[in-house]
Amino acid sequence: MKAVQYRKIGSAPEVVEVEDPKAPPGGMVLEVTASGLCHSDEFVMSLDEKTFATYGYDLPMTLGHETAGRVVELGEGTTGVEVGDNVLVYGCWGCGVCDMCARGNENHCRRGMVSPGFGAPGGMAEYIPVDSVMHIVPIGDLDPIKMAPLNDAGLTPYAAIKRNLHRLRAGATAVVIGAGGLGHVAIQLLRRMSDAQVIALDLPGPKLAFAKEVGAHHALVSEKAAAEHVKELTQGHGADLVLDFVAGGPTPELAIACGGMQSAVVFIGAGDGHAKVGFGITPWEMSVSNSLWGSRLELMELVQMAMRQPLEIRTTPFPLDLAPMAYRMLHERKIDGRAVCIP
């Protein structure tokens, strides 16, 4: 079958021929119906050899951690799923034994999670093996191209917003820094889940208009002065929740400057930025945290939400053969929303 692999440190991903996967006992093989491209793929491919080694991934690595597929083969002893079912592949495969996994937080597995696309073979291929029925979420007849990005571009902001929903009372304000793949879903989730005024920050260019198209009340250029503008739009109080989907360069300082007393700032982007936090530095009782993906239950909740009323996930479809070009376009910020490969 065809697969898109990252094969050599520092080189671009390639479309190659690999062996078809076999269904593992208790698991299955899916025919991939859609697979989203995430900035995190690029992040991993940008690491130098030494840093890459700390993640414990082997090369070649079949990319793709936002996968939708149709079950085509069941492994020995697999029950609870039928050939022909349409499903999403939950991306955080924990050990299943530790207390975090027992809580449903496989994304925080004490033994470290394996993800399809980061270590285990991913969904940028014609077929993908899935280790267990515990790692799929059925999607019925929903459009796999729109649903695949829920695995990450939807789930990651959903989990971060849900944890902070109590802050988004009537009249509250949320700031989204980086209206890209994750950010544009975050804007919609904020509008759907709360009454908050939503302010998006992005670099000068088309992303600002895009942020407003998908529901932001205001879209501001991401620069130091934006924090003053956020204060003006919040009676001087600052935002109640700030989601930073960049977390690189100046944005962590900017995120904190946008927040007010008793607010929360969540760093979600895989950037290497820093901000000072402390007594007399951050506003009183500001909570500052980072966030990694979400739980399978939260992915199910999101699918339920999309079944009730679809989220407007902006997708740009590419055939699998053009995945290397799609990654280049993602790098050049030429994709609005999510690029999705269709084998």
Q: Which residues bind Zn ion (CB under 5 A)?
A: 38, 40, 94-95, 98, 101, 109, 152
Q: Which stretch binds ligand NAD (CB under 6 A): 27-35, 67-75, 288-296, 298-306?
A: 288-296
Q: Which does 214 bind (CB under 5 to 8 A by kind): ligand NAD, Zn ion, none?
A: none
Decide: residue 81, CB within 10 A, 0-12 exposed, 13-18 middle, 19+ buried: middle
Considering the complex, what minimum distance in angstroms separates the CB of residue 257 from ligand NAD? Answer: 13
Q: Which is nearer to ligand NAD, 88 or 270 (CB)?
A: 270
Between CA 227 and CA 259 the distance in angstroms is 8
Q: Which stretch binds ligand NAD (CB under 6 A): 6-14, 96-104, 134-142, 243-251?
A: 243-251
* Kind and range of the H or E run holding 50: helix 49-54
H and E: helices and strands count for the chain: 11, 18
Of these, 270, 286, 306, 341, which contacts ligand NAD (CB under 6 A)? 270
Q: Which of residues 293-312 bind ligand NAD (CB under 6 A)?
A: 293
At 14, the amino acid letter reads E
Considering the complex, what minimum distance in angstroms separates the CB of residue 267 from ligand NAD? Answer: 8
By the rule CB under 6 A, 176 interacts with ligand NAD: no
| Chain centre to alpha carbon of residue 134 | 20
Q: Which does 47 bind (CB under 5 to 8 A by kind): ligand NAD, Zn ion, none?
A: none
Q: Angle 206-213/181-193 helices, nearest 10 degrees? A: 30
By the rule CB under 6 A, 245 interacts with ligand NAD: yes
Q: Is the peptide bond before 319 cis (omega within 30 degrees of 0)?
A: no
By the rule CB under 6 A, 32 interacts with ligand NAD: no
Q: Which does 203 bind (CB under 5 to 8 A by kind): ligand NAD, Zn ion, none?
A: ligand NAD
Q: 324-333: long-range contacts at Cβ-Cβ below 8 A with a sequence spacing of 24 or more?
A: 324/4, 324/12, 324/13, 324/14, 324/15, 326/37, 327/12, 327/13, 327/37, 327/41, 327/42, 327/45, 328/12, 330/37, 330/39, 330/42, 331/42, 333/180, 333/203, 333/205, 333/207
Token pair in block for residue 61 = 């690595």
Inter-residue contact 187 to 214 (CB < 8 Å): yes
Considering the complex, what minimum distance in angstroms separates the CB of residue 201 from ligand NAD? Answer: 5
Considering the complex, what minimum distance in angstroms separates the CB of residue 301 from ligand NAD? Answer: 17
Q: Which stretch binds ligand NAD (CB under 6 A): 165-173, 188-196, 287-295, 312-320?
A: 287-295
Of these, 101, 113, 168, 179, which contacts ligand NAD (CB under 6 A)? 179
3-state class (DSSP) for residue 15:
strand
Considering the complex, what minimum distance in angstroms separates the CB of residue 313 from ligand NAD? Answer: 12
Question: How many C-alpha atoms does 268 have within 13 Å on its Cβ side?
Answer: 32
By CB under 6 A, name the binding residues for ligand NAD. 38-40, 43, 152, 156, 177-183, 201-203, 207, 222, 245-246, 249, 251, 268-271, 291-293, 330, 333
